[in-house]
């Protein structure tokens, strides 16, 4: 397995988040991804590569130019060591929450994360069978024209669109983060060349409050968007049943590439997730995915307890048998 990693994510250090009218420390820390990297270094010490160079115009595969220019401009207006919290009222800013601060280097680090995912996609097109894109900041909440949920560019969606554009292949995206990937859903909602399947927390009480079962796609994409929400507190038994359903959907679609938006915030010790998965459940997840005999790109999403991330990944890789 190849791992795509860039250490510039360490420059992304959001300090605060506004949660229910109170300021709290921002959970997207450097350590949460560095612990994952440590596990991967032990397992695959010689398999790390850096991101390739891509023209910034490739962001346009998913994100329209007005949004890209807005984010770049906002970053330029922020002083060093300060944070700008987008104004979501009346759509003054292109952001849908107040938990996604913008700093002077946000555009730069988000673009680098996107390049990590794009590199992963290219490695699959170069005949790699398994690639891990260690992206941070995450991406699956980023809509085509809005940031949010700690996400600025949609890394998994960019990888999928890169593949469909450059190789005319059918792609499935399996989202295993606790939080529904509302951005990825929005981007591919009316298309049939990218299947989106997500297992996530109940949208009635879990951010971003989207991902109901009746959100099935529209126009040509009707039936190609599959949401499997689970109640808060769900443990391994229920989750693995949902994963079996998800894998059946992917089998029926028969894609040529599978992208997994992989979040470890489903672990029972994650501070902002709501499931109760343990290490043996992540082993079973890896084992289930190993039966899908197609090239896979893992794109890192959430997971906000560094030690839980490491433990979950170790078990996941054992189950994946790589």
Among the listed ranges 81-95, 140-154, 193-207, 241-255, which one has the minimum average pLDDT value?
Answer: 81-95
Is 21 an annotated catalytic residue? no
pLDDT band of residue 46 (cuts 50, 70, 90) is very high
Question: Is the pLDDT confidence value at 18 over 90?
Answer: no
Catalytic residue among 9, 26, 141, 179: 141
Name the pLDDT band for 23 (thresholds 50, 70, 90): confident
Residue 234: predicted pLDDT: 98
Task: Spell out the residues 6+ positions from residue 240 whose beta carbon is closer than 8 angstroms to its own.
Answer: 281, 284, 285, 288
Q: Is the dihedral of CA 201, 98, 23, 261 positive or negative?
A: positive
Report whether 291 contacts 247 (CB < 8 A): yes
Residue that is written with structure tokens 């959100």 in the block: 215
pLDDT value for 152: 98
What pLDDT shows up at residue 91?
A: 74
Q: Is pLDDT at 40 greater than 90 in this prediction? A: yes
Structure tokens, 138: 């995450």
- DSSP letter (8 states) at residue 86: -
* pLDDT higher than threshold 90 for residue 233: yes
pTM (2 d.p.): 0.97
Distance CA 94, CA 143 (A): 10
Could you give the CA distance from residue 96 to residue 88 in angstroms, rounded to a whole number? 6
The 8 Å CB, 24+ separation contacts for 38-43 are 38/310, 39/310, 39/313, 39/314, 39/317, 40/3, 40/5, 40/132, 40/134, 40/313, 43/317, 43/322
Query: What's the rounded mean pLDDT across residues 208-215?
Result: 98
Residue 207's pLDDT band (cuts 50, 70, 90):
very high
CA torsion sign for 15, 52, 144, 198 is: negative
Averaged pLDDT for residues 6-15: 97
Q: Give the 3-state secondary structure of residue 281.
A: helix
Domains and CATH numbers, the chain: 2-320 (3.40.800.20)
- N-to-C CA span, the chain: 7
What is the torsion angle, in degrees rounded to the nearest 10, for the CA atoms of residue 293, residue 180, residue 158 and residue 28?
-110
Confidence of residue 24 (pLDDT cuts 50, 70, 90): confident
pLDDT above 70 coverage of the chain, percent: 100
Q: Is the pLDDT of residue 283 over 80?
A: yes
pLDDT-derived band at 237 (thresholds 50, 70, 90) equals very high
Record the tokens describing residue 117, joined without a space: 């995912």
Residue 263 has pLDDT above 80, yes or no: yes
The residues near 46 (Cβ < 8 Å, ≥ 6 apart) are none
- Report the mean per-residue pLDDT for the chain: 96
Residue 62's pLDDT is 98
> Could you give the C-alpha distances from 176 to 4, 204, 240, 261, in angstroms and in order?
20, 18, 11, 6
Whether omega for the bond prior to residue 208 falls within 30 degrees of 0, making it cis, is yes
pLDDT score at 92:
86
303: left (phi over 0), alpha (psi -120 to 50) or beta: left
Kindly report which listed range (28-37, 82-91, 140-149, 287-296) carries the lowest average pLDDT score.
82-91
């Amino acid at each position: 397995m190849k791992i795509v990693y860039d250490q510039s994510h360490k420059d992304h250090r959001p300090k605060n988040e506004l949660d229910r009218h109170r300021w709290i420390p921002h959970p997207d820390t450097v350590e949460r991804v560095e612990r994952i990297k440590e596990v991967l270094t032990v397992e695959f010490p010689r398999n790390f590569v850096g991101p390739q160079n891509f023209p910034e115009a490739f962001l346009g595969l998913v994100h329209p130019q007005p949004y890209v220019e807005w984010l770049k401009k906002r970053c330029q207006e922020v002083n060093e060591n300060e944070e700008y919290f987008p104004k979501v009222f009346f759509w003054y800013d292109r952001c849908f929450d107040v938990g996604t601060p913008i700093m002077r280097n946000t555009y730069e680090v988000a673009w680098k994360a996107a390049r990590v995912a794009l590199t992963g996609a290219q490695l699959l097109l170069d005949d790699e069978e398994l690639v891990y894109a260690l992206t941070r900041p995450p991406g699956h909440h980023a809509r085509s024209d809005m940031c949010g949920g700690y996400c600025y560019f949609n890394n998994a969606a960019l990888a999928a669109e890169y593949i469909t554009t450059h190789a005319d292949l059918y792609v499935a995206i399996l989202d295993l983060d606790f939080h529904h990937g509302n951005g990825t859903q929005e981007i591919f909602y009316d298309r049939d060349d990218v299947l989106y399947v997500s297992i996530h927390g109940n949208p009635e009480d879990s951010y971003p409050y989207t991902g109901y079962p009746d959100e099935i796609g529209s126009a040509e994409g009707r039936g190609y968007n599959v949401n499997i929400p689970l109640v808060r507190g769900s443990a391994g038994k229920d989750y693995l049943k949902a994963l079996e359903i998800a894998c059946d959907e992917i089998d029926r679609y028969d894609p040529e590439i599978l992208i997994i938006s992989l979040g470890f915030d489903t672990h029972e010790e994650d501070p902002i997730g709501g499931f109760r998965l343990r290490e043996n459940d992540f082993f079973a997840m890896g084992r289930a995915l190993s039966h899908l005999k197609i090239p896979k790109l893992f794109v890192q999403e959430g997971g906000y307890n560094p030690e839980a991330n490491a433990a979950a990944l170790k078990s996941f890789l054992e189950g994946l048998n790589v």
